[in-house]
Structures are given as structure tokens and as C-alpha cells.
Amino acid sequence: MASIFRRAGAQILAMLSSTASPGSDTTAVQWFAKTIAGVTQQFIKTSDLEYQITPSLSVAARMAYYLEDFYSSVSVGGSPVLTTAIQGAPGNNRQSVTTGNSVVFSGTGAALNWIVGGGELVHECRTRTPTVQDGTNQWSDRFGMSDQTSVSEPSNGVYFEADRATFGDNNVRIVTANTGSRTKTSTGSVQTAATFERWRFVVDSAGTSVQAFLNDTTAGSAVAATIPTVGLGAFFGQVVKTLGSTARQSDRDYFETYQVLSR
């Protein structure tokens, strides 16, 4: 039986079998390890929700893991985050803004535990915008990792940004920010209206390069400038209205962060 990880309130629930096998999927794109009952086991990610155990139980790398799936009301950044039911996305946070409004939440508080370097760092957000930006209504949509809890743009972080007011297009950019200096690189992709998409970035083990992905496909080129050197929170979401008076929103299905730590 395959090992299944279920997203549930930032915990990993695992169903394990001593006869587990890797199955027939040969397109796995990720692997990681988790220690269960003192035994370190390797897993292969074969789909959005399924992780297959490998035959080998040899010693593997240590790993840190965090998941926020919004299955219940939680408090992040000192503010309540409420769930909204959406078909196909159980556990969802909706950030809605109108004229002059802004919404921000961040899994920071006092826990800025994630530091680039010292092991490959991976962050993924499944998100959608019901309506794309146009000449009448525009907003800054940011999501990823940062140390920010206010409505201003992060001084430190790695995150995605759609900001038509600044750039004049709907391209999503990967942003690296370090002590107020930012590098914004287009991924060459735009958000698809009313469609959940998985935006992911990977920071290499040395903390010197960041690569963006959209639905497991490379998006744009790697970035090697202004990569943060301070601790970041596990997730960050921000929507700031910049033009128009009609309410616009972004829906976050989940944030997932993990790091395969260097020995």
C-alpha cells in the first residue's frame, strides 16, 4: 500500500505498510525523508497528494516540514484567518479587497524559523484569482515566504507577485528581497482566471539560486540576486488594491513549505 500524506492543520498524517512499494509511476519529481517512530524512511512524491515509500530504509536527510491548509479558523500574524468553502479546495482562505483596502496574513509571529542555505528549501502555494487584473481594477497580489506582517511590501522574503499597476502587465514575477533590496524577475506566465494553480519556488541548498515553477513546469530563469539572509515565516499572503472600486480577491487553498536539511 502506498504511503499517503494528508494535509490536515499543518500536520503530516501517514498511512504506512511494511509491504509498501514504489508502484508504477516513474515521473516522480520530488523526494524527502521523515522520521517516524525513530525510523528514517525515504518517500517519493508521485502526484499532488500521494507519496510512495521507497524500498530502501537507509539513513536519509533530515527534513523540516510545514503545511497550512486552512481547514479551520487559525490565527496568523495576530489576525484571524477564516475559511471559505470552494469546490475542489477544501480548506481555503479568501483575501478580498475593495478601494484602498489591503489584506495581509503571515505565518511569522515569533517563528521566523526558515533560513535559506543549509539545505534545499521548497515552498508551494495553490492559489487562484477569480478575475484577472485589467485597466479598471488592479491590485498587488503577493504570496510566498517573508518576515512581513504589515501591509507594506516585504523587506525580506522570496515570493510571487502580480502587480499590473507597477509593470503594466499581468505577468507573475518571482521576487527575492534582502534588507529592502528587491529583484523582480518575470516568470513569463500569468494567472489563469478562476483556476487554482500551484506556484512553487525552490531555493538551492547553498541559498544562492531561486527557481520558480508553475504546476511543476519551470517558469522563467533562476534568480541569484538579493536572496534573503534572515529568518522567514513559513507562509505569507498579501493583497493590496491599487485601482478601481470593485471588490477583487485571491483564494489560497494551501501553503506548503519544506527543507531537506544539510547534515
How far apart, in whole angstroms, are the C-alpha atoms of residue 226 and residue 209?
10
Does residue 95 contact residue 151 with C-beta atoms inside 8 Å?
no
> For residue 214, what is the enclosing H or E element?
strand 210-214
How far apart, in whole angstroms, are the C-alpha atoms of residue 203 and residue 189?
20
Q: What is the pLDDT of residues 148-204, one digit of tens each?
A: 878 889 999 999 999 999 999 999 999 999 999 999 999 999 999 999 999 999 999
Q: What is the pLDDT of residues 106-158, one digit of tens each?
A: 876 557 889 999 899 999 999 999 899 999 999 999 999 999 878 889 999 99
Sorted by where each starts, the structural domains of the chain and their CATH numbers stand as 4-60 (no CATH), 67-261 (2.60.120.200)
228: closest CA among 176, 161, 175, 174? 176
More confident residue, 33 or 92: 92
Q: Give the pLDDT confidence score for residue 109 in this predicted structure.
A: 59
Say what the pTM is: 0.77
Q: Residue 38 pLDDT > 70, yes or no?
A: no
259: closest CA among 122, 125, 159, 144? 122
The beta strand positions in 147-196, using DSSP E, are 157-163, 171-178, 181-190
Q: Give the pLDDT confidence score for residue 262 in this predicted structure.
A: 76
Q: What is the pLDDT of residues 217-246, one digit of tens each?
A: 999 999 999 999 999 999 999 998 999 999
How far apart, in whole angstroms, are the C-alpha atoms of residue 43 and residue 28?
10
Hey, is 98 helix, strand or coil? coil
The whole-number average pLDDT for the span 86-91 is 86
Q: Give the pLDDT confidence score for residue 183 in this predicted structure.
A: 98
Q: Give the pLDDT confidence score for residue 152 in this predicted structure.
A: 87
Q: Residue 66 pLDDT > 70, yes or no?
A: yes
